[in-house]
Structure 1
Amino acid sequence: MAETTHDAGGTTFPRLLLKHAQERPGKPAFREKDLGIWQTWTWSEVGAEVRAFACGLAAMGFSRGMNLAIIGDNRPRLYWAMAAAQCLGGVAVPLYQDAPAADMAYVLQDAGIDFAIVEDQEQVDKLFEIKQGVLRDGGLLSHIIYDDPRGMRNYKQPELASLDTVIELGRAYDRQHPDFFQAQVGAGRSDDVAVMLYTSGTTGKPKGVCQTHASFIHAASGGCGFDRLTADEDILSYLPMAWVGDHLFSYAQAMLAGFTVNCPESGDTVLTDLREIGPTYYFAPPRVFENMLTTVMIRMEDAGAIKRRMFHHYMEVARRVGADILDGKPVGMVERLQYALGKFFVYGPLKNVLGLSRVRVAYTAGAAIGPDLFRFYRSIGVNLKQLYGATETCAYVCLQPDGNIKFDSVGLPAPGVEVKLAPNGEVLVKSGSMLKEYYKRPDATAEVIDADGYFHTGDAGIFDEQGHLKIIDRAADVGRLTSGEMFAPNYIENKLKFFPFIKEAVAFGNERAMVCAFINIDMEAVGNWAERRGIPYSGYTDLAAKKETYDLVKECVEKVNADLASEAMMAGTQIHRFLVLHKELDPDDDELTRTRKVRRRFVAEKYRVLIDALYTGKPSQYIETQVKFEDGRQGKVAADLRIVDVNTFSTLKKAA
């Protein structure tokens, strides 16, 4: 395979792929678990597959500047589709695979998608539903390529083609035009748009963020150098391909460093596959780490008395010295011996169960993580760190250096990134990993990039005395109580979500006299808790309404209030009243984004009657809510929700 990496156009992802295929042809590039067996592809094999697929796309009419939609779970051939489109000068547009047809239709229309590659029959059906409905007169989606042929035997639509057919077509095209592929890769430039990732749509319609090869390679290079990542790393890729975090870790950094990307068999087998692979490099949003901790706590509740006592004893040792030992700080000999015993009896087996025994570097991002949750993982020896970024910055703004970790910060500005604060506290960023533009939205682009070239993140933050950045909340969400005290809802919500019994929380208080909250219980954790106490329930709505459940949640809320009372800036934002929602907040009901961020304004409007009840002193409030079921049907959930007052505390001095 000819060398193309020194082309005048600069470094691009196709050139990186060809470089790895030449320099480490026999090294594993991708693995996928299929029917319980791990399949492996080397860099040489990936290079050949991408070449054939790119030529097949070209034979079908795909050309420079076109957009290729990619829809499905994390599959090697879907990642290769990104590279194939980029080889031809096209743009990869991954979509959230669990998005309903209406949400998907918006992106397909906005991006003008004519070519799409999807994982399986489910996604094919969804695209034909969109094509026959919303896009009936749009002339889009004239080529739909599917990877998994199961269930597709009787599909005869002319738009359809199997990926295997396209690859065979590409091999024939390559034989007929042997110089075509290298010429296309050689024509690519580093400032070409490589991928278009759509924003979560928290505050409005999603926008297509156009990122170039250069921008993602800048972020990948900075991150790999920062954490000394090599070609020997293993990563498990299970988060949505449409999310910027997955694109940075599973595509950009893998292409740059040449490490191995492992794709699980399914979403249901992720934890099992995680244990089998034992990644050295791991990335997960806070929700995943919260779920892991919830599972651990549930198992401990079910364990015998001796095992429970041993677990809690050694976890107390870990809380005292675990993080210091991980950071290489001085710790007394007796405590080190205690910790070593804890590692043998508790921490080691625990990390093995979680699949984190080989992890050298673990990151979390996407939302703020509670300091207590952060402390738990670091205390048992998992080098968990936070990064801060956005889709518009390739998820690359701040990183936490080894040995200099602060639980309440997102770290220092990453290499090659300039960060400053606007007068109102908004975080401003300038770097080589910033977006080129919002797709067909020059007005929106001009709103977020100022005359000095700084991207306005929309997040409010402060720097501490050592230059670490602390993110308080979204700038638009930070408000004031009527008493004048600052109100940062996300900060309070993260404290609530540390408890395994609380899955989601929404705090209210801006321009009000006190803070109140909605709570979603964690069905698994609270259900397990209820069963062990002989409390019967018929489902989420019934369990959420139980007096015992309210008492359990009240205890958690009051612990948060005690913690807030110890923080001078937050003491006045303790929670006075709460209710437990009768249904789980759900992306399909537009209450959460696909990355599980609360759509705060939407929730406030949808449940206005409940907010009014919280603030007018009512003891309960009846509500009916329309919901969407998994099979597409719609229905209603109704309940008479109790509203509970909780204790608040005088300002306390924070413990040393």
Structure 2
Amino acid sequence: MAAEGAGGETFAQLLIGQADRRGDASAIREKRRGIWGNVTFAALSEEAAALSLALAGRGLVRGDRIAVIGENRPRLFAAIAATHALGGVAVPLYPDCGATELAGQLRATDARAIFAEDQEQVDKVLEILPDCPGVQLVIYDDDRGMRHYVHPGLVDHAHLMAEGHEIAAAQPDAYRAAVAAGGGEDEAFVFFTSGSSGAPRGVIFTHRALIGRTRAAAAAQGLGETDTTLAFFPPGWLCQTMVSYMSAMAVGLCICCPESLETLIDDMRETAPSALLTTPRMLDAIFSRISTRMEETGGVNLVLYRRALALAQRVGRQMTEGQAPGAVNRFGMAAYGALIYAPLRDFLGMSRLKSACSTGDTLDPAMQGFFQTLGIGLGQLYGSTETAFFVAMQRPGDTRPGPLGAPLEDMEVRIAEDGEILVRSDGVMKGYLDGTTARDAEGWLHTGDAGRLDEAGRLHMIDRMDALGRLADGTPFAARQIESRIRFSPFIREVVVTGEGRDRLCALIDIDTLAVGRWADDHAIAYMGHVDLASQEAVHDLVAGIVAGVNADLARDPALAPLQIARFALVPEELGTENGFLTPTGKVRRQAVTDRFAALIEALHAGRDEVVIEAATGEEGHRGEIALKLRAPGGTGGPGDRRAA
């Protein structure tokens, strides 16, 4: 394993080790304007050296915190490497973070410098700079639209590199001397939590903790120097940075940076990664794209796809229940494997995957079963920012839908009396920025998640502790378990189930505008925008059929049978990060949704058929009153309950 040969107590020391041993190996590949470029470990180390020396020349010192704002790009990874070479603390932030939230995070971390990807990020930083007096230097990468920017402390990446090369020529040993001075207990990163159940909090990690967690995760997945991974989530998400930058340093794998989310499938097909980190939302989008493409194809291919999908669902359900597929199903799997499943794997760029992990939210067993039926060993991963994510995971060959897998070898996990998951390890966070640690007297970190351990020691996630609810009759429910089942449909983008203290469960549903729009076109239904589409009677019938299908699935499980969705409504506004309803990683900010649509929720539970609320009309942000229909499951949409219709 590469990790064993890559010595060093800090990420900067690991980078020098990789550059010395295998400098010509690819550290990062990036696609720009349709062409893949390559950055070797030697080139990355050289760039980190120049940048770190330039930062030191401008007055930054060991222990300073340096923010990085942008997508996965080689120069931003070099900025992180330079920060560590200096002895500083890297603070990756989400690129779609609003100005107010960004200012708060920069003040909370007392950031001294900022690496910004492009004009959009620089404009946001310059707007809030008066409120962030600690920031003395702003470095930008892409200079498009910025040729005439003049501001004290603003410098482009190339100019800073030139300064660093001059210093390196005069002090050739300075870079390695600075790196050698670092230690494993030095602070390495500050990451902010997603904020799905409260305001984001800054979490501090040491080099030793994250290097250990990264190596343990790589060992569990069987990853090493010959592997590649596709990095398409922002570096502000700790899990993505562990799977990309940290894994490149600790085990020597290669990071592939796609050109954009729009080209993601094409980029995956071109790189054919062996390791992939994904989320239920991303899998929903991929499944929706597959279904849409097959609907457009039509003919025999569509008939075969629908039959193959139905078989995948049956087999997935059997796998969830711990049953082995029968002889007929095994024969069908083999036949469809050659006709449908293998071509789909190639189309998705997943033909070489040996480790695929889904995390960030509950994954519907049917969705996991679908990908596994395609021959993709999709497993689940459990963790949080505070625990450095890799707490429990399904290893290759043990990916039965349902459990989240066994804890990693360096992780202790137990369940508290109230059902909360407790974690203990040397690899968890050092603490929050405010000085608290979320640990009890025995060192157990309280995750805030509810779960259980089965007889085989595998962890099962139920929901957030603060999201568990009870109906008025005392029946307990976990909203996420039901929401993930509804969201499996390609027509559904997001769901929020409500029912705490009520006599029944109801759901707010956000339709997938693209998928439902194409369905509406195929059925000659005219509409103008999301609001109009969500108000169509035929769309309500379609969603009613989907919810009815989920209710039927729930009825087959005695533990879930009482948890039927009694009524639902289609929300008039798309739930997104830009309006504060989703976190940057795609998790629902449940409180934001329930606060915004409180009147709609009350009307649902009161049994009303219609309610008038104020909402965005979709016309240049204008708002107005909209009459919404409230429905019970059923209707004519049955054929679309689990596939494109």
Instruction: Give your verdict on TM over 0.5.
Output: yes
Q: How far apart, CA to CA, are the structure 2 residues paired with 1:318 and 1:529?
A: 23
SS in 2 for 1:589: coil
- Give the alignment partner of residue 644 of structure 1, picking from 624, 631, 634: 631
The residue aligned with 1:253 is 247
What's the CA shift for 1:62?
1.4
The residue aligned with 1:565 is 555
What's the CA shift for 1:403?
2.6
User: Given residue 229 of structure 1, which amino acid in structure 2 is its aligned partner?
Assistant: L
What's the CA shift for 1:344?
2.4
- Give the alignment partner of residue 86 of structure 1, picking from 84, 87, 90: 84
User: Given residue 113 of structure 1, which amino acid in structure 2 is its aligned partner?
Assistant: A
Cα distance change of structure 1 residues 606 and 6 upon mapping to structure 2, 3 Å threshold: closer
- Give the alignment partner of residue 446 of structure 2, picking from 426, 448, 456: 456
SS in 2 for 1:63: coil
Q: How far apart, CA to CA, are the structure 2 residues paired with 1:637 and 1:54?
A: 53
Cα distance change of structure 1 residues 330 and 527 upon mapping to structure 2, 3 Å threshold: closer
Cα distance change of structure 1 residues 40 and 324 upon mapping to structure 2, 3 Å threshold: farther
Q: How far apart, CA to CA, are the structure 2 residues paired with 1:552 and 1:331?
A: 31
Q: Are the equivalent residues in 2 in contact too, given 1:323–1:379 (CA < 8 A)?
A: no
Deviations 1:124-181 (A, max 9, x none): 111111125xx1xx42332110111222211121221111111111111122223322
User: Given residue 523 of structure 2, which amino acid in structure 1 is its aligned partner?
Assistant: R
The residue aligned with 1:579 is 569
Task: Report matched runs for 1:5-20 at 5 Å.
Answer: 11-20=9-18
Task: Report matched runs for 1:166-245 at 5 Å.
Answer: 166-245=160-239
The residue aligned with 2:152 is 158
The residue aligned with 1:652 is none
SS in 1 for 2:90: strand
Q: How far apart, CA to CA, are the structure 2 residues paired with 1:412 and 1:646?
A: 37
Task: Report matched runs for 1:453-602 at 5 Å.
Answer: 453-602=443-592
Q: Are the equivalent residues in 2 in contact too, given 1:588–1:628 (CA < 8 A)?
A: no
Cα distance change of structure 1 residues 204 and 622 upon mapping to structure 2, 3 Å threshold: same
Q: How far apart, CA to CA, are the structure 1 residues paired with 2:360 and 2:307?
A: 33
The residue aligned with 1:635 is 622
What's the CA shift for 1:334?
7.2
The residue aligned with 1:651 is none
Asked if 1:29 corresponds to 2:16, the answer is no
Count how many residue pairs are aligned between Structure 1 and Structure 2.
628
The residue aligned with 2:122 is 124
Cα distance change of structure 1 residues 637 and 166 upon mapping to structure 2, 3 Å threshold: farther
Worse overlay, 165-174 or 422-431: 165-174
Q: Are the equivalent residues in 1 in contact too, given 2:316–2:365 (CA < 8 A)?
A: no
Q: How far apart, CA to CA, are the structure 2 residues paired with 1:411 and 1:288?
A: 21
User: Given residue 123 of structure 1, which amino acid in structure 2 is its aligned partner?
Assistant: Q
User: Given residue 62 of structure 1, which amino acid in structure 2 is its aligned partner?
Assistant: L
- Give the alignment partner of residue 74 of structure 2, picking from 64, 76, 81: 76
Q: TM-score normalized by structure 1? A: 0.92
Q: Are the equivalent residues in 1 in contact too, given 2:10–2:208 (CA < 8 A)?
A: yes
The residue aligned with 2:55 is 57
SS in 2 for 1:175: helix
Unaligned runs of 5+ residues in structure 1 are 649-656
What's the CA shift for 1:106?
1.3
SS in 2 for 1:200: coil
Cα distance change of structure 1 residues 267 and 317 upon mapping to structure 2, 3 Å threshold: closer
Unaligned runs of 5+ residues in structure 2 are 636-645
Q: Are the equivalent residues in 1 in contact too, given 2:119–2:144 (CA < 8 A)?
A: yes
Task: Report matched runs for 1:109-120 at 5 Å.
Answer: 109-120=107-118
Deviations 1:606-627 (A, max 9, x none): 2111111112121111111369
The residue aligned with 2:642 is none
Q: Are the equivalent residues in 1 in contact too, given 2:129–2:135 (CA < 8 A)?
A: yes
The residue aligned with 1:614 is 604
Q: TM-score normalized by structure 2? A: 0.93
- Give the alignment partner of residue 431 of structure 2, picking from 410, 428, 437: 437
Worse overlay, 559-568 or 288-297: 559-568
Cα distance change of structure 1 residues 27 and 313 upon mapping to structure 2, 3 Å threshold: same
What's the CA shift for 1:503?
0.5
Question: What is the root-mean-square deviation of aligned Cα atoms in Å?
Answer: 2.2
Deviations 1:206-244 (A, max 9, x none): 111001111111111111111211111111111111001
Q: Are the equivalent residues in 2 in contact too, given 1:69–1:115 (CA < 8 A)?
A: yes
User: Given residue 66 of structure 1, which amino acid in structure 2 is its aligned partner?
Assistant: D
What's the CA shift for 1:573?
1.5
SS in 1 for 2:558: coil
Q: How far apart, CA to CA, are the structure 1 residues paired with 2:522 and 2:477?
A: 38
Cα distance change of structure 1 residues 375 and 205 upon mapping to structure 2, 3 Å threshold: same
Q: Are the equivalent residues in 1 in contact too, given 2:315–2:369 (CA < 8 A)?
A: no
